[in-house]
A and B are shown apart, each in its own frame.
Chain A
Amino acid sequence: MPRSAPEVTALRLLCSRDPVELERALDAIEAHLREAGAATDNAMQFRLVAEEIVTNIARCAWPEGETHRFTVELAAEARPEGVHVRMTTVDDGVPFDPTAQAAPDTTAALEDRQVGGLGMLLVREMTDGQHYAREDGRNRFSVVRFFPHAATDDRGGD
């Protein structure tokens, strides 16, 4: 009997810092997850995670005005119980460990609220795991997220 191994589909993108190109990359990521069987909501949630990560690299990894490229690898594994997603970005910009950033104060009053750091907070809260390594002069950042197939009433409020 052949064993049915989980189906893994991978997407590898080479991105520039150009906003239009980044938008196309995010479209491709969302479409890839939909094709892998992720629900619309889940594909959008992961697009948000991807947006925060790639825009941060595009904006901050190198001095303004310089042209650089970085890679985004997306692997979606369709399992019977759901879709497991891993996204890894690799860039040769300034060392930046997203896992070591202080969380913004989300309890501050309106006047004192800042938006810096919110993107990475969303990434941390909307993924199941994050891993950073500086290897060979490159930032390598991975996030994983498991999206279970919808059961009945699985999105109850809290």
Chain B
Amino acid sequence: MNVTTETKDGALIHRISGRIDTATSKAAESALTAEVKQGKRVAFDMSQVAYVSSAGLRVVLLAAKLAKANAGAVVLFGLQPTVREVFAISGFDRVVSIQESEAAALAALGT
């Protein structure tokens, strides 16, 4: 897993690639929660993520909870079909904001 971060229209975008699983969840947690802890508004670009297991869902849930607790926001976009299926089974598509495109994600962040 790899994460690059950029700023666009006043929002942060974490562009994630690879797997978010048991082996990478620790690195994912530190890379994907540092900014939301500070109340930043962050979009996760999931278009290069082909695999999210329950260990990865845990990181997403943590990021969403931290965002809420710190008056920030997290929006995901670009989920591949197999990843979307995992979010649907777990019901995470109802507690985490998921948008189709980067533009929609940035609009949802209201930046």
Indicate if the CB atoms of A110 and B54 lie closer than 8 Å. Answer: no
- Also in contact, A55 and B82, with CB within 8 A (given A47-B51, A115-B61, A122-B54): no
Query: SS class of chain B's interface: helix, strand, loop or mixed?
Result: helix
Size bracket of the B interface: 20 to 34
* A44, A47, A55, A126: the one within 8 Å of B55 (CB): A55
Indicate if the CB atoms of A52 and B54 lie closer than 8 Å. Answer: yes
Docked CA distance A107–B90 (Å): 9
Indicate if the CB atoms of B57 and A115 lie closer than 8 Å. Answer: yes
Find chain B residues with CB under 8 A from A45 CB. Answer: 82
Binary CB contact string for chain A from 5 to 39 against chain B (1 if under 8 A, 0 otherwise): 00000000000000100110000000000000000
Indicate if the CB atoms of B89 and A19 lie closer than 8 Å. Answer: no
Indicate if the CB atoms of B95 and A113 lie closer than 8 Å. Answer: yes
Find chain A residues with CB under 8 A from B65 CB. Answer: 110-111, 113
Indicate if the CB atoms of B50 and A121 lie closer than 8 Å. Answer: no
Q: Kindly provide the distance from the CB of A82 to the nearest chain B CB, expressed in whole angstroms.
A: 17
Q: Which of B82-111 contact A (CB under 8 A)?
A: 82, 85-86, 89-92, 94-96
Docked CA distance A106–B55 (Å): 16
Q: How many residues of A contact B (CB 8 A)?
A: 27
Residue B35 interfacial (CB < 8 Å): no
Docked CA distance A52–B53 (Å): 7
Indicate if the CB atoms of A48 and B22 lie closer than 8 Å. Answer: no
Residue A51 interfacial (CB < 8 Å): yes
Indicate if the CB atoms of A51 and B22 lie closer than 8 Å. Answer: yes
Indicate if the CB atoms of A118 and B54 lie closer than 8 Å. Answer: yes
Indicate if the CB atoms of A44 and B82 lie closer than 8 Å. Answer: yes
Indicate if the CB atoms of A121 and B89 lie closer than 8 Å. Answer: yes
Residue A64 interfacial (CB < 8 Å): no
The list of the 6 closest CB pairs from A to B, nearest first, reads A106-B91, A119-B54, A118-B54, A115-B58, A110-B95, A125-B89
Residues of B within 8 A of A (CB): 21-23, 50-51, 53-55, 57-58, 61, 64-65, 68, 81-82, 85-86, 89-92, 94-96
